[in-house]
């Protein structure tokens, strides 16, 4: 059984494991004050091209989302998100458990635009309702689509005009930035959003996300918020060592490129075999539409998510590739799929 279910089934890149082993008996400061974390932050700032941002390393994506969002908002303020957004669908109400309502907007391609945000603002007009204050987006989105520079620029301008914070979930940011259709750089993000994070868990690290806070007013006391939310690791070195390895050269982007290459191979061959897709997703997540009979057959040898029902006989599945996906497994999946007479 080979898994295309997610991009965190494997452990970590061997270089990270070696670095953890080699430093294992060193005594260093705790809670992110160690030399490895400080070096990782320095490397991240160099990659982003900004020294005036604050960077904090947190264990996971859900924790990063609810820690950051709850820190940035006052008690009566709310979040605008796509109806497919991770914080709305897949985080067990973590943000709302901190007291902040999520205003979900129906989108077709996973991406918010200014018209969605305006519609949310128009529905929340006075102190008898929550006040929309933060716009949550993810890149890539939950359905594998990516934001292009002009789209993010338009969002940024609109949010600035409406005095809204713009926050980007970057759990799979490596895949977005390494997509052949991408035209954004890390340096662009630091100019266009108020905060974002660089995901490690889904791109070769054991655990870890690097939160980048760009807006000065959001920086104050953030470590207090991390501690209160259980996000300030005593052994912060575990995160620092991993991000130091990922960013001391191009490893982070090389791993994302491999994941995208494997997804592209899957996508191209599935299309050649005559199958359609739920959405155009130029990242490491693809959503082919298959017959339910074929899905049952494929599940004998492969693990993946059945994403949504298309009609009585067909469903869209989600296939996710990772930094460690084996090309032989991809070719095996394609061969089994191509041998089927089904098409839609």
pLDDT in tens, 31-58: 999 999 999 999 999 999 999 999 999 9
- Could you tell me whether strands 77-82 and 131-138 are parallel, antiparallel, or unpaired per DSSP bridges? parallel
Three-state SS for 9? coil
Residues 300, 165: one domain?
no
Final residue before a domain boundary, out of 234, 251, 268:
251
Q: Is residue 311 part of a domain?
A: yes
Average pLDDT, the chain: 97
Q: Is residue 210 part of a domain?
A: yes
Residues 61, 140: one domain?
yes
pTM across the whole model: 0.96
In the predicted structure, residue 343 carries a pLDDT above the cut 60: no
Final residue before a domain boundary, out of 208, 232, 251:
251
Residues 210, 314: one domain?
no
Domain, as residue range, for 279 = 252-338
- The pLDDT value recorded for residue 232 is 97
Residues 183, 296: one domain?
no
pLDDT in tens, 167-210: 999 999 999 999 999 999 999 999 999 999 999 999 999 999 99
Average pLDDT over residues 297-323: 97
The CATH number for 289's domain is: 3.90.1150.10
- The pLDDT value recorded for residue 132 is 98
User: How many distinct structural domains can be found in the chain?
Assistant: 2
Cα separation, 275 vs 197, in Å, equals: 35
Average pLDDT over residues 297-321: 97
Final residue before a domain boundary, out of 216, 251, 286:
251
- Using CA atoms, how far residue 200 sits from 97, 205, 250, 273, 297, in Å, is 25, 5, 14, 34, 33
Backbone φ and ψ of 304, nearest 5°: -165, 165
Q: Is residue 6 part of a domain?
A: no
Residues 278, 222: one domain?
no
Q: Is residue 133 part of a domain?
A: yes
In the predicted structure, residue 340 carries a pLDDT above the cut 90: no
Q: Is residue 343 part of a domain?
A: no
pLDDT in tens, 77-105: 999 999 999 999 999 999 999 999 999 99
Residues 29, 99: one domain?
yes
| Exposure string for 293-321, b = 16+ CB within 10 A, e = fewer | ebbebbeeebebeebeebeeebbbbbbbb
Q: Is residue 3 part of a domain?
A: no
Q: Is residue 272 part of a domain?
A: yes
Residues 53, 157: one domain?
yes
In the predicted structure, residue 344 carries a pLDDT above the cut 90: no
Residues 281, 329: one domain?
yes
Residues 232, 297: one domain?
no
pLDDT in tens, 223-267: 999 999 999 999 999 999 999 999 999 999 999 999 999 999 999
Residues 304, 193: one domain?
no
Residues 197, 292: one domain?
no
Q: Is residue 105 part of a domain?
A: yes
Residues 168, 301: one domain?
no
Per-residue confidence at 342, pLDDT binned at 50, 70, 90?
A: low
């Amino acid at each position: 059984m080979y898994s295309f279910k997610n991009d965190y089934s494997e452990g970590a890149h061997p270089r990270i494991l070696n670095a953890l082993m080699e430093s294992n008996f060193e005594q260093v400061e705790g809670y992110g004050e160690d030399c490895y974390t400080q070096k990782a932050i320095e490397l991240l700032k160099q990659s982003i091209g900004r020294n005036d941002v604050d960077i904090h390393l947190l264990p996971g994506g859900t924790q990063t989302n609810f820690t950051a969002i709850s820190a940035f908002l006052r008690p009566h303020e709310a979040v605008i998100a796509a109806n497919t957004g991770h914080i709305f669908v897949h985080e067990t109400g973590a943000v709302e458990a901190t007291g902040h309502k999520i205003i979900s907007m129906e989108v077709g391609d996973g991406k918010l635009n200014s018209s969605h945000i305006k519609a949310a603002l128009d529905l929340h007009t006075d102190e008898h309702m929550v006040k929309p204050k933060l716009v949550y987006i993810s890149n890539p989105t939950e359905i594998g689509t990516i934001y292009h520079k002009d789209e993010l620029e338009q969002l940024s301008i609109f949010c600035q005009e409406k005095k809204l914070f713009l926050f980007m979930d970057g759990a799979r940011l490596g895949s977005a930035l390494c997509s052949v259709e991408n035209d954004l750089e890390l340096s662009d993000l630091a100019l266009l959003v108020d905060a974002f994070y660089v995901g490690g868990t889904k791109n070769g690290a054991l655990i870890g996300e690097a939160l980048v806070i760009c807006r000065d007013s959001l920086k104050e006391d953030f470590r207090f918020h991390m501690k209160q939310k259980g996000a300030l690791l005593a052994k912060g070195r575990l995160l620092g060592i991993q991000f130091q390895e990922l960013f001391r050269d191009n490893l982070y982007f090389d791993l994302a490129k491999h994941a995208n290459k494997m997804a592209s191979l899957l996508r191209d061959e599935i299309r050649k075999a005559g199958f359609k897709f739920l959405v155009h997703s130029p990242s490491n997540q693809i959503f082919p539409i298959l017959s339910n009979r074929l899905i049952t057959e494929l599940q004998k040898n492969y693990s993946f998510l059945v994403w949504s029902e298309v009609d009585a006989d067909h469903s869209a599945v989600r296939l996710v590739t990772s930094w460690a996906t084996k090309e032989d497994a991809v070719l095996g999946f394609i061969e089994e799929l191509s041998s089927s007479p089904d098409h839609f």
